[in-house]
Structure 1
Amino acid sequence: MSVTHPLLKILKVALLELYNEGGKIYDTNLNLVPFCRALEDIFRLGLQRNHGHWFTKADYWTVFIKFGDKAGPGLFHLIKFVKDNQKAMTDQGRGRLFIRACLVKKDLASLVQKLRDDTAFIEMWYDSTSILRDDILSEIFLSLLAEVQNIPFSLYLKNASFLDTTWDMAEYRDYEFVPCNVLGVHLHYVDTHLVVTDVDAESVAAEDGKISVGDVMDELYTESLRGAKRGKVRDLFQLYKGMPVYVSFVKARLPNGEIYRPIAQLLREVDIDLSHMPIKGEPPADNSVYRKPAHAVLPEEEKDEIPVHGPDGKAEFTVVYRGFYPLAEDGRVDRIHDSIENVITDSGRRKEVVKIETTETGVEVRRLSDNELLLNHSYTEVSACGRRTDMLLYFGYIAGETTCNMAKDFKCYVFESEEASEAKIILCSIGEY
């Protein structure tokens, strides 16, 4: 008769799903949350009451803290990192941040091995129902965690302000704005979060539609704003007056356009309904071909810029083709941001020097060495183009397998230019059609 446990079965299935991805695991991965939930359930199973928590059951984060110095230097520093973090305010949130940090640093198996070996400590905190106290089940758990070591987790640990309530992760954006006295956003404190309730037109914040109503201002000049005293934003602006503005936001909308559930709850408290507000970058309701012009997504664009074309109507540039990222049915311009990161951080992709041509009818990409046609998309197939403001040499365009209003298989094609100004001109060449 085989020895197993339902939670270990769940963890194994979730682990297999992640393993089959074959690349880096980002916060947007749909299989990440079930995997983390399974880990959390295992660490909670069999926890004993009291130990200083007279009215509530101690959570697993308390166990990790008490283990402290026994964990070794690496784990000790991870524990300190979480304790010093101002964004996770509950034991649940801190425990989740610690698990995410262990996945990134590949320290989870080491932690469980040390816990398992300290019999007296484990028996003090867990009862006999715990997987950690069972010799066979804990060995199976460790074997699964050994496989976890082979998975490259690339999780954004700054994105921690909602871990108190959910494992689901929102989009997190870091922005740099020009020096200014007023950013142009109206903020409202809701349950320790600074929620954007309005954005002034023509303000720095309104540039390219980066910041939207419902977004949560999470950091300013790298300082956390969660639970900050009123006036901290003003004080930081005054302290760093004359310097570029570095600010981070938790986005109200997910990549699929849905509203992030924890933020939706905050918005109800201030009577803001985003369901009636248009989604930036969403195709028009009449199903006509949507293409956001390049100057709408580039921070420094001038709307009257005209790309340089040759006498045959072509604009031709030599760049490096970095590869593509599949987007399924989502051809919105918002996906360019994460697609570029996914492509350029995949070391297994092959780089090719190519010529990219924007003709009167579409975009052609040919290998420079033998002139072989690699990509050919008509403008009716191109749904968007743009680049990240923090990686100006990289740019991309999104195209489907047929016209945009009928396409079901969009891909973002990513390129690298030698000059940021050249990338800008190429995007303007695509965006003007």
Structure 2
Amino acid sequence: MPAKDPLIEALKVCILNLKSEGRVTDSSPHLVSCCELLELILRKGLQQPVLSLAHRDYWQCFKQLIQHDTCGRLSSVSLAVQQTAACCKVITSQGRGRFFIRLMLMKRTLGNVVKHLLHTNRVIEWYCPNVAILRNEEFVEPFISLSMVLSEMEFKLNIENCSFLDESWLLPVCQIYEAVPCQELGMVLRYLNGRVFVLDLVKGSQAEADMFVEPGDIIDEINGISLRDSSNGQAGVVFSKLKGQPLSIRFIRWRAENGSIYQPLLKHLRQLKEENTSLQFGPKSMSHKTVGQKRGQTPCVKDGRILYAVQLLGKANIGMYGGKEVLQHTIPVVLQCKQDRKEVLLDIKETHLTCTDKTSQQNLCQHQFPEISCVGRFGNQPDLTIFAFCVLDTPETERPMGFCCVVLQAATSSECEEIVNRIAAGFKHTEWFV
């Protein structure tokens, strides 16, 4: 009976599970196990240099491949090695090795890389013949076969989400926020171990109004500029240079996919809590993001965003003046017309808002914040759930015909107030840019 290596057998089972899922993404439950097993196999039997204090990892093996390639066969590998070496979000050999493995899975070239590794004598000699799977004739063939199977599979991975590969194969939730030009965002920052944490939000700021970030989140990059391994004040310098320009900010969330704390951040969050005792890093609390659950409904989610389920009561042209004073007499006029109500989803984004028919998913309207002249609630009702905003009325002729008042109704007065505040904050922060 042929000998079996437990790592090879575990990898075989893991690959079968991955294949059953079809296309593999970062959310695939067996991806982390597969990568961990590949790493263990590539490390097994790797000998450390005798006369050097530097630790050798499998990343050094991959780097050596292109140095010993005399026939130019490894052009794709060479580009991947260069891309990995140039990535400033990973700073250790372990992080670079993990980045390279993910890159090879994405490019479907892992099998070829393993073959070249086995045929590069100066590199394969780093492995102990009696221990390494890569030097064992019984185990190396199954490993090559499994590597080729992985190369035939489709991996759709977010290669930019790599800032925690130095510490863990488990990736955090990573999201991008697009901000319009404004004077300041209103975030209090704290630098810990080369990372830029959000310690608090300034009251009344755009950050608090848009609710795009929570204390404990990390600013990973700004407009493509990585803040990994940052020195104190570096984020402020970047923000200052980009003042008045649109911003694209990549955040790493302290919450994991399941809503719990992302474990590699645990010790940092404890330190933040010592500095700001009001911070809470427990289970996800009831907030605007769970507004559907407050009403006993399933939240409306689109691309990771929570949408407001409201009713569109109607709209009317109000002439050439769109100031807030018109709302109190225009809203009753629209209500008296008794136009057909529609169940809609209101998505208040960073630069604009959209209104979508809840049933047909048809996009009813989209308005940039600079187009909105005012927003407010109807103050003569006890529950204050009806609100409206005025927007430049441009029909199919694309010639402005004054302003249009759009009237909607929220489920609760608190939700209505929240929506009005978010819309108001949106055009407040963009009106100077018009």
Q: TM-score, normalised by structure 1?
A: 0.68
Q: Which residue of 2 aligns with 1:2?
A: 2
Question: Could you say what secondary structure the match of 1:149 adopts?
Answer: helix
Verify the 8 A CA contact 1:104 1:152 in the aligned structure 2: yes
Runs of 5+ consecutive residues of structure 2 not aligned to the other structure: 316-334, 369-387, 389-406, 413-434
CA spacing shift, 1:5–1:195, aligned 2, 3 Å: same
Match of 1:16 in 2: 16
- Partner of residue 65 from structure 1, selected from 50, 63, 80: 63
Cα distance in 2 between the residues matched to 1:392 and 1:36 = 41
Aligned pairs (5 A) from 1:101-116? 101-116=103-118
C-alpha change, 1:110 and 1:203, in structure 2 (3 Å) is same
Structure 1 residues 91 and 256 mapped into 2: Cα distance closer, same or farther (>3 Å)?
Answer: same
- Opposite residue 75 of structure 1, the aligned amino acid is V
Structure 2 match to 1:289: 296
* Aligned 8 A contact 2:179 2:350 in 1: no
Q: Is the 8 A contact 2:300 2:306 kept in 1?
A: no
Deviation by residue 1:373-396 (Cα, 9 ceiling, x = unmatched):
xxxxxxxxxxx9859879999979
**Residue pair 1:196, 1:212 contacting (<8 A) in 2 also:** yes
Bigger CA radius of gyration? 2
**2-structure distance, mates of 1:262, 1:106:** 29
Distance 1:137 1:292, change over 3 A: closer
Query: Does the 8 A contact of 1:385 with 1:431 survive in 2?
Result: no
- Structure 1 stretches lacking a partner, 5+ long: 316-357, 364-383, 398-412
Query: What are the equivalent positions in structure 2 for 1:151-162 lying under 5 Å apart?
Result: 151-162=153-164
Contact 1:181 1:241 in 2 (8 A): yes
The equivalent of 1:48 in structure 2 is 47
Instruction: Give the superposed CA RMSD.
Output: 3.9
Q: Normalized per residue, which structure has more helix?
A: 2
Cα pair distance change 1:30/1:202, threshold 3 Å: farther
| Matching residue of 1:95 | 97
| 2:81 match | 79
Structure-2 separation of matches of 1:431 and 1:102: 49
Q: Give SS of 1:94's match.
A: helix
**Corresponding residue of 1:234:** 236
Please report the TM-score for the alignment, with normalisation by the length of structure 2: 0.68
Aligned counterparts of 1:97 and 1:176: Cα–Cα separation in 2: 26
- Please report how far the alpha carbon of residue 299 of structure 1 lies from its aligned counterpart in structure 2 after TM superposition: 11
Change (3 A) 1:55 1:231: closer
- Give the structure 2 partner of residue 170 of structure 1: 172
Q: 1:198 aligns with which of 194, 197, 200?
A: 200
Task: Report the Cα distance in structure 2 between the residues aligned to 1:151 and 1:390, rounded to whole angstroms.
Answer: 38
TM-aligned CA deviation for residue 200 of structure 1: 2.0
Residue identity matched to 1:72: L
SS of the equivalent of 2:27 reads coil
Question: Contact 1:88–1:162 (CA<8 Å) still a contact in 2?
Answer: yes
Give the aligned residue type for 1:133.
R
Shift of 1:135: 2.8
SS in 2 for 1:89: coil
Q: Kindly tell me: are residues 260 and 161 of structure 1, through their superposed partners in 2, closer, same or farther at Cα, counting changes over 3 Å?
A: same
Alignment CA distance shift 1:128-1:44 (3 Å): same
The CA distance in 2 between the partners of 1:204 and 1:293, in whole Å, is: 24
Amino acid of the structure 2 residue aligned with 1:48: Q
Equivalent residue number for residue 31 of structure 2: 32
Change in Cα spacing, 1:135 to 1:293, as seen in structure 2 (3 Å) is closer
Map residues 297-336 of structure 1 onto 2, 5 A cutoff: 313-315=340-342
Equivalent AA in structure 2 for residue 195 of structure 1: F
Q: What displacement does 1:15 show?
A: 1.0
AA partner of residue 2 (structure 2): S
Question: Compared with structure 1, are the counterparts of its residues 391 and 155 closer, same or farther at alpha carbon in structure 2 (3 Å cutoff)?
Answer: farther
Aligned length: 343
**Structure 1 ranges of 4+ moved more than 4 A:** 279-288, 290-294, 297-301, 303-314, 384-397, 413-422, 428-433
* Counterpart Cα distance in 2 of 1:59 and 1:196: 34
- CA apart distance, 1:209: 1.9
Q: Distance in 1 between matches of 2:355 and 2:100?
A: 33
Distance in 1 (alpha carbons) for counterparts of 2:355 and 2:21: 24
Letter in 1 for 2:180: V
Deviation at 1:230, TM superposition (A): 2.4
Corresponding position of 2:415: none
Q: Specify whether residues 395 and 214 from structure 1 end up closer, same or farther in structure 2 by C-alpha distance, changes over 3 A only.
A: farther
